[in-house]
Amino acid sequence: MNICIIGTGYVGLVSGACFADLGHNVICIDNDKKKIKKLKKGIMPIYEPGLEELVRRNLKNGRLKLGSNIKEGVKASEIIFIAVGTPSKENGEADLTFVENVSREIARSMTSYRLIVEKSTVPVNTGEWVEHIIRVFKRNKAVPFDVASNPEFLREGSGIEDFMHPDRIVIGVKSKKARAILVELYKGLNAPIVVTDIKSAEIIKHASNSFLATKISFINAVSNICDKAGADIVEVARGVGLDRRIGKEFLRAGIGFGGSCFPKDLAAFMRISDNLGYEFGLLEEAQRINYNQKRLVVKKITDHLWNIPAKTITILGLSFKPDTDDMREAPSIDIISMLRKEGARIKVYDPEAMQKAKALFKRDVEFCADPYRAAKNSDCLVVVTEWNEFKDLDFKKIKKLMRQPIIIDGRNIYDPGRMRKLGFTYVGIGRR
């Protein structure tokens, strides 16, 4: 099939490269000409395992093309995916300006039937607005079209795997033609296809992410109880997660969730609910717990250093999760900000997110070339992102380098007994 994807962020670029690898003809469009120029040379704007190889391969075989002209993409494609950003407004609502602008350009460019598909995460009823915009702005009123919803469920760091081996494919449609096209498009993937109306598909995405965010906040709240009771959250989570009705996924206690999806989608779903006249208090509590986890880490640091001013604190991990360089809503940002306000000197290291972090923190922190330089003369080492690299450190060397051998394990990646035998003061999240 001939596909146009508008937007080359995490969702658009991964989806475009994967569709091309499945044998479709794909053109990815982005109005950032510098980004497109770099992509044509095989230079990725994001870090995602396997993406560079996938893009290079499909550019070479001609199934993947890149451009900055929406008209060109619409002309060459029957299916047009909208995968532009939907950032949060101050009140938590999704800003749909980019979606509206792109919809207008699509409408003006159509000369024959096109299927316009929402790929971006959008509030319920957005499909109706996209349809309205297309009808108003298309030049030839007789040109037929369909609008559909096909929300993405890609996790940063495993986006390609999630696309190629999804848990499910959700399709929201109004017409039999749109249904047939999208079912045919995805027939190469071995996954259940959920076909529903557009509004239900839009809600499925927000409900899914909000549920997972709530599940994380729940186990983090339980970890606080474990801290106070002297229990171990790892053992508690294992016992809870073996219940098939609950499952073990997203039951890892830590410093909370971040990224471009959970915080944004949680806030957006709360606003959607408010606008529809329903007070979703459960989500408000999940949001509050998530923020408090970051404050909890700072308190644990304070409890073990007594006075923060003039102390040197090492932060290992800056991206919001491993296997990505994404700093959006990363817990490290708030934690570093809180420690800086207390007067701490901050040293940081991350395997992939250093460049993006430098744009955020500038000279407020010391960027180090490796974990060992970051740990040198440090009073406390704080694990913020659970990169595999951090699990295999030479802790005898780390202990000799540090001024005070204190580890705050914000992701519970170390064995408390082993750390204490090595001579560290070890503090986890809800660990006995």
Q: Express each pLDDT in 274-332 by its tens digit.
A: 999 999 999 999 999 999 999 999 999 999 998 899 899 999 999 999 999 999 999 99
* 213 belongs to a structural domain: no
Q: Are residues 278 and 416 in the same domain?
A: yes
Q: Of 4, 18, 28, 261, which residue is the catalytic one?
A: 261
Confidence at 258, pLDDT banded by 50, 70, 90: very high
The whole-number pLDDT of residue 92 equals 87
Number of domains in the chain: 2
Range of the domain at 9: 2-206
Other CB atoms within 10 Å distance of the CB of residue 206: 22
Would you say residue 196 has pLDDT above 90? yes
Q: Encode pLDDT of 329-385 as tens digits.
A: 999 999 999 999 999 999 999 999 999 999 999 888 999 999 999 999 999 999 999
* 147 belongs to a structural domain: yes
Q: Is the pTM of this model over 0.85?
A: yes
**What's the whole-number mean pLDDT along residues 78-84?**
97
Distances 397 to 100, 225, 385, 405 between C-alpha atoms, Å: 55, 34, 21, 11
Is 18 an annotated catalytic residue? no
**What's the whole-number mean pLDDT along residues 166-187?**
96
Q: Are residues 236 and 136 in the same domain?
A: no
Q: Encode pLDDT of 405-427 as tens digits.
A: 999 999 999 999 999 999 999 99
Q: Are residues 72 and 159 in the same domain?
A: yes
* 201 belongs to a structural domain: yes
Q: Are residues 395 and 275 in the same domain?
A: yes
Q: Measured between alpha carbons, how far is 408 from 267 in angstroms, rounded to an integer?
A: 29
Q: Measured between alpha carbons, how far is 264 from 207 in angstroms, rounded to an integer?
A: 12
The whole-number pLDDT of residue 363 equals 85
Q: Are residues 191 and 285 in the same domain?
A: no
* 325 belongs to a structural domain: yes
Q: Measured between alpha carbons, how far is 67 from 73 in angstroms, rounded to an integer?
A: 8
**What's the whole-number mean pLDDT along residues 82-106?**
93
Distances 64 to 5, 39, 237, 339, 382 between C-alpha atoms, Å: 11, 11, 44, 46, 42
**What's the whole-number mean pLDDT along residues 190-207?**
96
Q: Measured between alpha carbons, how far is 326 from 346 in angstroms, rounded to an integer?
A: 20
Q: Are residues 177 and 247 in the same domain?
A: no
Question: Please, which residues have CB within 8 angstroms of residue 51's CB and are 6 or more apart in sequence?
Answer: 13, 14, 17, 44, 159, 160
Q: Encode pLDDT of 114-150 as tens digits.
A: 999 999 999 999 999 999 999 999 999 999 999 999 9
Burial status of residue 131 (CB atoms within 10 A of its CB: 0-12, 13-18, 19 or more) = middle
* 418 belongs to a structural domain: yes
The whole-number pLDDT of residue 145 equals 97
**SS3 per residue for the chain:** CEEEEECCCHHHHHHHHHHHHCCCEEEEECCCHHHHHHHHCCCCCCCCCCHHHHHHHHHHCCCEEEECCHHHHHHHCCEEEECCCCCECCCCCECCHHHHHHHHHHHHHCCCCEEEEECCCCCCCHHHHHHHHHHHHCCCCCCCEEEEECCCCCCCCCHHHHHHCCCCEEEECCCHHHHHHHHHHCCCCCCCEEEECHHHHHHHHHHHHHHHHHHHHHHHHHHHHHHHHCCCHHHHHHHHHCCCCCCCCCCCCCCCCCCCCHHHHHHHHHHHHHHCCCCCHHHHHHHHHHHHHHHHHHHHHHHHHCCCCCCEEEEECCCCCCCCCCCCCCHHHHHHHHHHHCCCEEEEECCCCHHHHHHHHCCCCEECCCHHHHHCCCCEEEECCCCHHHHCCCHHHHHHHCCCCEEEECCCCCCHHHHHHCCCEEECCCCC
Q: Measuring CA to CA, which residue among 151, 156, 110 is closest to residue 133?
A: 110
The whole-number pLDDT of residue 388 equals 95
What is the overall mean pLDDT for the chain?
A: 95
Q: Are residues 178 and 310 in the same domain?
A: no
Would you say residue 18 has pLDDT above 90? yes
Beta-carbon-side half-sphere exposure of residue 78 (alpha carbons within 13 Å) = 10
* Residue 240 φ then ψ, to 5°: -75, -45
* 215 belongs to a structural domain: no
Q: Are residues 282 and 384 in the same domain?
A: yes
The whole-number pLDDT of residue 306 equals 86
Q: Are residues 238 and 354 in the same domain?
A: yes
Q: Are residues 183 and 248 in the same domain?
A: no
Q: Measured between alpha carbons, how far is 344 from 275 in angstroms, rounded to an integer?
A: 42
CATH number at residue 353: 3.40.50.720
* 270 belongs to a structural domain: yes
For the ranges 83-92, 111-120, 388-397, the lowest mean pLDDT is seen at 83-92
Q: Are residues 122 and 269 in the same domain?
A: no
Looking at 156, 171, 206, the residue that finishes a domain is 206
* 222 belongs to a structural domain: no
Q: Are residues 200 and 234 in the same domain?
A: no
* Residue 47 φ then ψ, to 5°: -100, 120
